[in-house]
Every structure is written in C-alpha cells, then in structure tokens.
Amino acid sequence: MKLNELTIKEASQKMAKGEITSAELTKACLARIKEIDKKIKACLTVCEKEASKEAKEADKRRSRGEKGDLLGIPYIAKDNILTKGVKTTAASKILENYIAPFDATIIKKLKEAGAILLAKSNLDEFAHGASTENSAFGPTHNPWDLTRVPGGSSGGSAAAVAADMCLFALGTDTGGSIRCPASFCGVVGLKPTYGRASRFGLIAMTSSTDVPGPITKTIEDAAIVLEAIAGHDKNDATTPDMEVPVYGKFLEKNLKGLKIGRPEEYFGQGLEKGVKEAVEKAIVKLEELGAKIIPIKLPYAKYGIPVYYIITPSEISSNLARFDGVKYGLSSKEAKDLKEIYTKSRGKGFGPEAKRRIMLGTYVLSAGYYDAYYLQAQKVRTKIKEELDFELEKLDAIITPTQPSPAFRIGEQSDDPLKMYLEDIFVTGASLAGLPAVSIPCGFSSGLPVGMQLIGKRFDEGMLFRIGNAYEKATEWDGKKPET
C-alpha cells in the first residue's frame, strides 16, 4: 500500500512505531498531487516547500517524544479558510491574489497538533454551489468519473481525499457543502453542530449556518480531526464554552437498543433508484447491528430549500458587502469616483452565482419585501427546527440519503440555478436547525458512490461516530477506491 493511501490512524500508528516518517508521507502525497491533479484539478495552490519543511519539523517533534494522532499528518484545506502567508482565493477573481495576514482558528489548532498543510482546494466561488463548477478557476473533476462533478461546494477537498492526495481535508458546510461532495466522491464528510468548531478566519457566507468540518477516509479519522478543531474560541462568540469529548470512546460502543428515525419524506419521489436501494440496504444493516428503525414524518422538510434560499442570499448580500475594492482584493482601475470603485470592482470580480445570490438577498431584504420573504423564512425555519428537535428527542439519530442522485455530469445543469438549488433537498434541514450531520459511503449506483446521511442531536457528534463506525466496520465501502 502506498503511504498516501493510509488513513490518519494507520499513518500515525506507523509513525509512532518509527516505521515511516512524516517527510516520507508528505512526499508521497505531494507526488500523488503531481501525478493526478492535472486530471482532477482539486488544488488551487500547492505549498510544496512549506509542507516539506513542516514535515521535517513534525518528525523532530516526534523524535523528542511528542505524541498525537495528527502530528505529521498531511492535509488539504478548502480555499475559503484563511492560511497565513498562503493565498486564500475563495475561488473568486475578486480575491485572486489575496494573502491572509493570519490563520483561521482551525488552521492554527491543526498547526499546533502538527498537521501539515499541503494545498488549498477548489470550491464553488465563495462556497456558492453544489458542484464546484462555480469556481472562477474551472471545475474540479470527480475521481470516480472525470466527466462528472465532485459535488460542492467543498468539491476540491472531497475529490482530493477520494484520490488519496492527502490523508484528510477541511471543508465548510453552510447548506450541505461538506456532505454533498463527500457523498459524490465516496468519502466521509462531517458537518458539526453549529458553533462546535470556530468560524474565525472562514470567509463568511451565511453566518447563521456556516461551520467547518472534516472530510476523511473513515469515521474514526473524522473523530480525530473534529476533536482537534472543535471548542470554544474567544474570536467566535457563537462557539459555546463546552468541553470537547474524547470522541474515540464512542467508537467502541455497539448499536444495541439505539433508535434511528427514517423520515418517509426523504425516501419518496425524486429519489434515484440506485440511491434508494443503497440507503435501504444500509438501514437493514443497521438493524442487523442492533439498531431499531423508527418511521417518522417531517412535513416541514419540503420547505427547507425555499427557506434556505431566502436566508442564505440575505446573509450573503450582507457578508459580501465587504468586498468593495478598497481594502483588499480586486480594485477597478477605471473607476472615476468612490461609488464606481464599488460597482466596477464588484461587477468585474464576482462570478455569476455570487452576483445572483447578492441580488436575490438584496431584493428579499429591500423595503416592502422583508416581512414577506426574510421574516417569513425565519419563522418557517423555526418550524423546521422544532420538528427535527421534537423527533430527535425520542431518537438517537435520523437516517436519510445525502443526495437525491449520484454525481451528475459537468455542465449538465450549470445553466439552471434553480435546478442546482434542488440538489440541496436533503441537506438543508440540519443546517437550518444547526444539527450535526455526517455523510457516509453506503454503496454505488451505476458505478458512482452513494452516501447516507445521519443527523444527530445538537453537540452529539459522538453518536454519529458510534453509528457510523459500527456500520463502516460491518461493511467494506470505505476500502473502495476510484481507478483514476
């Protein structure tokens, strides 16, 4: 087995035994990026020199007796997460040459744990999308079929993990942006509870649902990464001062007596046959493992997308107002006055989807429409949240498909924004309610990966790891690799 194909756990055990070094591991990942990324285009910036230097430093730390599962582990970060001294573009022309003066809190924490930043990965511009086609620098290709999208918006991160360019990657999830690409690329993607991991240093999209999280090869690895990045941050007032559990202890438990809800609305019309079969089989497997499957109803779930596409553009129109051509980023040279600096820099710098969302948000927040759209959406959001909370009170988790179908072809629906928004049908609920949710590989449909989604109670990521790990150990989907 090649070193870049190892999981975090396997690699750290080998490093602890002295069988391999971080320098070798990092070299293997960089070589894999060189070999394959011409075809996949997951990386926007590769930090070869810095990574090689940091790997040697990690080896020194280990030789001095330091321990830790992430010490010397190479990873890739989505390019909307600030990294000091390394370009952060958000896959936008408006930030094409932006270099952040500081690290995001989660990057800082990973640095302290000794993880090695290999590269910054592609995304839909400012994380607006479900396919990574909205990147100003071109789409990423799915390692399972290069003519298809990797999902989005963390498409580069998921494709990089699926193609073994790194041992894990960081993504951000606002309305499915970790779970969707994880499902399309056949890897594990965890959206933690809102506030579980700090947003400080993330390029803000929808501040009321944004959350960073891991994309990994196994559930165990996701638990390792979450433990490292989670916790209170004085720079993010929405991170509660709660202890971060030792997530490893959840992995040993079996599923006997657990109750998992199956919402009928998530298994009806519009669900592709192969996806449905794979998720139904997974449900049978969970029953065999001792869990009890409880049929539930979530009648407000169908309003998730309309609510999301009011709240999200609203917050985007506000958050993206900071890109004004004055302080940093693209600045129009043709502007004659201050207003033209704004209009021309933004008109030139933002891509089509960012512009659409800014305008939609501006419209629904504008005088006369606020009550009808934004306020009504926030009220329906309450209904969606209450309904999920009510069901989860009696349950340990909820199971659904992650996406209604497997990865679609590049270009297939990029001209129809509304059709693209409908991709988010199963993932927006957990985002609007701030609940943790994970996508786990559970089979294939016509040779393309299928993911199932587990939604848990707020701050109960441990339960998702417990169910996910038991399922993963009882099946072999996590060992399947694309041929590219």
Q: What is the smallest separation between the CB atom of 348 and another protein, expressed in angstroms?
A: 8
Question: How many CA atoms, within 13 angstroms, populate the side-chain half-sphere of residue 162?
Answer: 35
Give the residue with the Cβ less far from another protein, 156 or 329.
Answer: 329
Per-residue contact track with another protein, 205 to 224, x per CB under 8 A? ---x----------------
Contact 272, 339 (CB under 8 A): no
Given 177, 198, 345, 439, the catalytic residue: 177
Contacts of 264 (CB under 8 A, 6+ apart): 295, 296, 297
425/452 with CB nearer another protein: 425
Residue with structure tokens 């591991």?
Answer: 25
Binds another protein by CB under 8 A, chosen from 68, 434, 441, 468: 434
Tokens 């001062």 correspond to 241
Residue 193 engages another protein in binding (rule: CB under 8 A): yes
Considering only residues 309, 408, 444, 465, which one is a binding residue for another protein as defined by CB under 8 A? 309
Q: How far is the CB of 231 from another protein (least distance, A)?
A: 14
Count residues contacting another protein (CB under 8 A)? 71
CB nearer to another protein: pick between 278 and 433: 433
- Please confirm, yes or no, whether 154 is among the known catalytic residues: no
Query: Is the four-CA dihedral 54, 58, 59, 64 of positive or negative sign?
Result: positive
Residues from 316 through 375 that contact another protein (CB under 8 A): 317, 321, 324-329, 331, 335-344, 346-348, 350, 352, 355-356, 358-360, 362-363, 366, 372-373, 375
Interface region with another protein, contact rule CB under 8 A, candidates 39-47, 68-76, 170-178, 191-199:
191-199
- Stretch 284-303 residues interacting with another protein (CB under 8 A): 300, 303
* Dist. CA 152–CA 154, nearest whole Å: 5
Hey, which residues between 5 and 64 contact another protein (CB under 8 A)? none
Q: Which of 433, 452, 463, 467 is in the footprint of another protein by CB under 8 A? A: 433
Instruction: Identify the three-state secondary structure at position 332.
Output: coil
User: Considering beta carbons, is residue 57 or 324 the nearer one to another protein?
Assistant: 324
Angle at 170 between CA 165 and CA 172, to 5 degrees: 135
Nearer to another protein, 258 or 320 (CB): 320
Q: Hey, which residues between 73 and 112 contact another protein (CB under 8 A)?
A: 84, 98-99, 101-102
Question: Would you say 201 and 445 are in contact if contact means Cβ atoms under 8 Å apart?
Answer: no
3-state SS class at 187: coil
Tell me which residue of 251, 265, 290 sits closest to 399, measured CA to CA.
265
Q: Is 135 a catalytic residue?
A: no
Q: Which residue has the tokens 């196994």?
A: 218
Task: Region of 84 please: left (phi>0), alpha (psi -120 to 50) or beta.
Answer: beta
Spell out the SS3 assignment of 133-179: CCCCCCCCCECCECCECCCCCCHHHHHHHHCCCCCEEEEEECCCCCH
How distant, in Å, are the alpha carbons of 176, 272, 296, 302 from that of 299? 20, 21, 10, 7
53 vs 458, beta carbon nearer another protein: 458
Nearest distance from residue 51's CB to another protein, in Å? 21
Query: Cis ω on the peptide bond leading into residue 153 (within 30° of 0)?
Result: yes
Closer of 211 and 399 to another protein (Cβ): 211
Site for another protein in 126-165 (CB under 8 A): none
Chain residues 365-424 in contact with another protein, contact rule CB under 8 A: 366, 372-373, 375-383, 385, 417-418, 421
245 binds another protein (CB under 8 A): no
Among residues 15, 16, 25, which one has the least CA distance to residue 52? 25
445 belongs to the catalytic site = no
Give the catalytic positions in this structure.
Answer: 78, 153, 177
